[in-house]
Amino acid sequence: MVPHLVTALSGPLLDLEEKILAATPAIERWFRLEWQEHTPPFYCSVDMRNAGYKLAPVDTNLFPGGFNMLATEMLPLSVQAAMAAIDKYCPDARNLLLIPEVTQRHATYWQNVARLMQIFRQTGLHVRLGSLSPDVTEPTPIALPDGNMLVVEPLVRSPNGRRVGLKDFDPCTILLNNDLSAGIPDILQNIHEQSLLPPLHAGWALRRKSNHLNAYDEVCKKFGKLIGVDPWMLNPLHAKCDAVNFRTGEGYDCLAANIDALLSKIKKKYKEYGMREQKPFVIVKPDAGTYGTSILTIKDSSEIKALTQAQRDKMTVIKDGKEVTDFIIQEGVPTFESIEHAVAEPVVYMIDRYVVGGFYRVHGERGVDQNLNAPGSQYVPLAFAQQHAVPDLKAKPGTAAPNRFYVYGVVARLALLAASLEMERTDPNPEVY
């Protein structure tokens, strides 16, 4: 199933698709060589925007939820990728401890956890759930809509203080599906005898989007040179402002100046490509954090000073009640993909270096220039009727689902490679690499 694409038969993106397809052997070889030098994140999801004139990642999540949204046809590939990922860290692994989010209360998230457990059980691992919540003091059942049941248990530290597990469960590997927005809990500190995946510095307690965007700039320049395209076709322009307080107005000058500068750069790019009708905009969002909170769509820097008190309050706090003062300004990439007249954006999932599927995030009440990761969004699995990794080189550009999904996968892997560089450069123990 391919959603109706407004820009399907026009625009530079078709040229980009053609160039990527024509360069497939070189692209795959380039990725293989890069993965010899760098270790991909254990798993990752990438939110993308297809604007017709560019295809770019706008968010890279190293603690992805939503595995339950993937097409069931992709489950075998997910299991194979999970096997490859586990083999890197603990080839003789028997037990896997999965640590989910603490604050999630809705059934959809727990269905994601159940799907992850299913994937890793099919790799031959015993999988159990350990909770960081202080309220979980004994095995606690969680009912799923399909009638199945999950059980979360309290984490315990081993007598020597060097391992984490459950009362009667000693795992080789600990997989976090908790992005650590609330900070790094003591029980996860100084674990020396187990693989903790992703590493603690991948969590939002330490991670910053600006580091990822800087790494992605480098990756895009190399890739653009490889296939002969303008890196801007794949990369949103960006800037950063620290010490911004939306309640007091502190830092507004930095925001306004960077917004004006970014809008000017975007206008120059639009002019370069003859896009006179396109109106530039930027997205202001926290340098750390996820879940689509504290995000503004801005078309003129004057809008910053015109925010209502409610909008200001919303911009000061992110997930788990954490106050935020550091922001990034990112080129706005509109989405021209739609499903039944509702705007949509692709989200691609990877385990290790392998694309394992994805879905369209769809929102019937949002515009093409707005954040779709908001209440009311729905999800349509990317139905890979044909193998997404095998493009149809004879198809007319813009008409073949496998080709579009392959291109999605290429751009998502660029973000994955950037995340790998980001993790290396921000690792407090770099000698591991």
Q: What's the CA gap between 46 and 59, in Å, rounded? A: 6
Output phi, psi for 328, to 5 deg. Answer: -115, 150
pLDDT in tens, 317-367: 766 567 788 999 999 998 888 787 788 889 999 999 999 999 888 887 776
Look-up of token digits 């322009």: 237
- How confident is the prediction for the chain on average, in pLDDT? 87
Residue 389's pLDDT is what? Answer: 57
| Domains observed in the chain | 5-64+209-423 (no CATH), 67-205 (3.40.50.11280)
- Higher-scoring residue by pLDDT: 54, 369: 54
pLDDT of 395 over the 70 cut: no
pLDDT in tens, 88-133: 988 888 999 999 998 767 889 999 999 999 999 999 999 999 999 9
Q: Give this prediction's pTM.
A: 0.91
Per-residue tokens: 67: 């595995």
Q: What is the mean pLDDT of residues 124-152?
A: 94
Q: For the chain, how far is it from start to end, CA to CA, in angstroms?
A: 41
* Amino acid symbol at 104: Q
Is residue 174 classed as helix, strand or coil in its secondary structure?
Answer: strand
Q: 128-137, 147-156, 386-395: which range is least confident on average?
A: 386-395
pLDDT at res. 217: 98
Q: What is the mean pLDDT of residues 279-289?
A: 91
Please, which pLDDT band fits residue 10 given cuts at 50, 70 and 90? very low
Residue 393 CA to residue 407 CA, distance in Å, equals: 12
Alpha carbon distance 92, 100 (integer Å): 24
Which pLDDT score, from 0 to 100, does residue 228 have?
Answer: 94
pLDDT score for 293: 61
Is the confidence at residue 198, as pLDDT, over 80? yes
The answer for residues whose C-beta is within 8 angstroms of residue 62's C-beta and 6 or more apart is 41, 43, 44, 179, 198, 202, 207, 419
Q: Is the pLDDT of residue 9 over 70?
A: no
Question: pLDDT for 363-388, tens place per residue?
Answer: 877 767 777 777 777 888 875 544 45
Q: What is the mean pLDDT of residues 199-217?
A: 96
Q: How many Å apart are CA 281 and CA 298, to the nearest integer?
A: 6
Q: Could you give the percent of the chain with pLDDT greater than 90? A: 58
- pLDDT, position 318: 66
Contact 210, 240 (CB under 8 A): yes
What is the predicted pLDDT for the residue at 245? 86
Residue type, 348: V
Residue ranges of the alpha helices (H) in 276-364? 302-305, 309-314
Q: Which of 12-16, 87-91, 427-431 has the highest mean pLDDT?
A: 87-91
Sole residue written with tokens 């949204």: 69
Residue 401 has pLDDT above 80, yes or no: no
Q: Which amino acid type is present at position 25? A: P
Rounded CA-CA distance 189/157 in Å is 11
Report the C-alpha gap between 170 and 163 in whole angstroms.
Answer: 8
pLDDT band at 169 (very low <50, low <70, confident <90, very high): very high
The confidence score (pLDDT) of residue 92 equals 87
The answer to whether the beta carbons of residues 379 and 359 sit under 8 Å apart is: yes
CA-closest candidate to residue 329, choices 303, 305, 296: 296
Closest CA to 98 of 40, 41, 155, 163: 155
Structure tokens at 81: 């990728």
- Residues recorded for the chain: 433
Place of tokens 């759930």: 129
